[in-house]
Copies of this chain bind each other. A is one copy, B any other.
Amino acid sequence: MADIIDGRAIARQLDEKTKAEVDALVAAGHPAPGLTVILVGDDGASQVYVRRKIKSCEKVGIRSNEHRLPADTSQEDLLALIDQLNRDPEVHGILCQVPLPDHIDTRLVLRSITPEKDVDGFHPVNVGRLSTGTGGIVPCTPLGVMMLIHSVIPDLTGMDAVVIGKSNIVGKPVANLLLDAEATVTVTHIYTHGLPAICRKADVIVAAAGAPELVKGDWVKEGAVIIDVGITRIMDEETGKERLVGDVAFDECQHAKAITPVPGGVGPMTIACLLANTVQAAKGLMGVNKDVSSDYHDVPSRSMFTGNGNIPNE
């Protein structure tokens, strides 16, 4: 039987670490880190997510603040609010819940959050820093994925990792983090030929395709570690009830070394990583050095100009 990687338990441990960091900051005379969440419109799911984030902040001692704006808020007004929050020294993290209404340019809005407060890690500067292994804020889900992998494989050096899906929010950043951890990384996607054979060679599979039960048991080699980022609601034909499934045929993969369940695997890590990112952002803005949440906030500063023996900028 494969070990189940318990995302809820690992998220709880991370929350405890985060809470300890917050307490230490406050004990040292700093203000508690502060997260501001912006919600535009009244999308039901978004309201649930925002409420959950706010509640999670309370648990670890992060001050939180919610701006609810009507669905017809102009882009100008939203940008003005973000500008104000960027300059507010009491705000350390800014999260603008997506999706935004259609009349608003989502990418422009997310790019207007100052990178130092961009706790989602979506700003091009943070993406660039992640890509070059030069620090910055790492997006929550990829950060959580790496923590789950490291809970069973402390050292990924030379391991074969396969990432299924090349989205900007999961696949690509996970691939970068795996490379930073010295794994050999193959990124696959909808146009990939021979995906089963590619997966069969992998020591680590990160499935982030959004395709229910795409990865079958015979795609997985004995002893592999599987992280399932997918989550899709499907109708169970036998029971006639809806259920959540991942990108991996979980029951068929008991010969794996370890596997994340859906739900209860990657999902719970995301908010825990958001909280950790908020504390990291606060410490950066306060000039407090050592970071709290993970090695990924502390990627060794590799020179832009090492590693391939070529003369750059020739």
**Residues in A lying within 8 Å of B, measured CB to CB:** 45, 49, 95, 97-99, 106-107, 110, 120, 122-134, 136, 141, 157-158, 160, 165-172, 175-176, 179, 182-189, 191-193, 198, 208-211, 229-232, 267, 270, 302-314
In the bound complex, how far is the Cα of B169 from the Cα of A307, in angstroms? 9
Q: Is the CB of A97 within 8 A of B307?
A: no
Q: A107-B304, A193-B160 are contacts. A310–B208 as well, Cβ < 8 Å?
A: yes
Contacts of A110 in B (CB 8 A): 304
Of the A-B pairs whose beta carbons lie under 8 Å apart in the complex, a sample of 10, sorted by A's number, is A95-B313, A110-B304, A124-B129, A124-B134, A127-B131, A160-B193, A166-B179, A175-B187, A185-B186, A209-B308
**Which residue of the partner chain, among B165, B179, B305, B307, contacts A308 with CB atoms under 8 Å?**
B165
Q: Are B313 and A97 in contact (CB under 8 A)?
A: yes
> What residues of chain B lie closer than 8 Å to A168, measured between beta carbons?
131-133, 302, 304-305, 307
Let me know if A134 and B158 touch, CB within 8 A: no
Residues of B within 8 A of A136 (CB): 124
Q: Whole-angstrom distance between the alpha carbons of A192 and B129 in the complex? A: 24
Chain B residues with CB below 8 A from A186, complex form? 184-187
Chain B residues positioned under 8 Å from A133 (CB to CB)? 168
Q: Is A208 in contact with B305, judged by CB distance below 8 angstroms?
A: no
Chain B residue numbers with a CB within 8 Å of A232 are: 309
B307 and A171 contacting across the interface, CB-CB below 8 Å: yes
Q: How far is the CA of A171 from the CA of B50 in the complex (A)?
A: 39
Q: Which of A98, A127, A158 has the most CB of B within 10 A?
A: A127
Docked CA distance A127–B176 (Å): 13
Closest B residue to A306 by CB, please name it.
Answer: B167
